[in-house]
Amino acid sequence: MIELIPAIDLLHGKCVRLAQGDYAAPTVYDSNPLDVARRFEDHGIRRLHLVDLDGARAGHVVHYRVLEQLAARTSLTIDFGGGLKRQHDAEIAFNSGAHMITGGSIAVKDPETFAAWIATFGSDRIILGADVRDGRIAVSGWEETTALEWRPFVQDYYNKGIRKIISTDIRRDGMLQGPSISLYKELREAFPQSYVIASGGVAGVDDIDALHNAGIPAVIFGKAFYEGRIGLNDLRRFTQPNTV
């Protein structure tokens, strides 16, 4: 059964969504991330993808206090991303209650540090963020598209032991136009031992069904929930115990 991972994106401490990573046009959905997290938990969801958008822009972790609160006051398994640039940032995230951390920009801009995290914390606690725009890796809160093609980029870290990969097709993120199933199937086929987490474009439960039928292990969803296209009661058939 596909694992459901709702997203909470933090901007100025509030729960927001950006369309295609555009910081100039955030939509604020809730001012209390803890209330949102508890609603997920109450409906049988066990994971949470928490993104520090302010941290992604600032280059260091900003919302560690929110992470602390969610970790202390829910039982959700939290993976945290945004602003993780140095060893100190990773330690802050783990000390604040993150079970896993996601590195995207750092994996591009400081591969030695990211590789050291894999060695220090273990590959089971490190997720590679491979966010794609037109076939190339994008970083820095998606404000910068690099020259790196996604396949050799992922291959390098797969060789270093990475097995968990979050991939967002940025062109689809926040657009409610359906997920990039072909991209995720390519990732699974190229890296068969990987745990691919699809992100971006989910518009409804049918999209989750399509990802499940395609053999994708997990999916992150956000805007479809916040705009009422996915009801938490509709997801109960997916909320079976999963192992990662």
Residue 243 reports pLDDT greater than 50: no
Please, what is the average pLDDT of the chain?
91
Question: Which listed residue (9, 169, 173, 207) is catalytic?
Answer: 9
Residue 178 reports pLDDT greater than 50: yes
Is there a contact between 96 and 68 (Cβ–Cβ < 8 Å)? Answer: yes
What proportions of the chain, in percent to the nearest 5, are helix, strand and coil? 40, 25, 35
Q: How far is Cα 8 from Cα 178, in angstroms, rounded to an integer?
A: 19
In this prediction the pTM is 0.90
173 is catalytic: no
108-113 average pLDDT score:
94
Tens digit of each residue's pLDDT (9 = 90 or more) over 120-176: 999 999 999 998 988 899 886 666 788 999 999 999 999 999 999 999 887 766 556
Task: Domains for the chain: give ranges and CATH numbers.
Answer: 3-238 (3.20.20.70)
Task: Report the half-sphere exposure of 227 (CA within 13 A, side-chain side).
Answer: 15
182-194 average pLDDT score:
95
The CA distances from residue 85 to 9, 112, 167, 193, in Å, are: 18, 11, 19, 27
Instruction: Please name the residues in contact with 209: beta carbons below 8 A apart, sequence gap of 6 or more.
Output: none
The CA distances from residue 20 to 98, 105, 142, 190, in Å, are: 25, 16, 8, 26
28-57 average pLDDT score:
95
Question: Which listed residue (54, 89, 131, 207) is catalytic?
Answer: 131
131 is catalytic: yes
* The pLDDT value given to residue 175: 59
Is there a contact between 230 and 204 (Cβ–Cβ < 8 Å)? Answer: yes
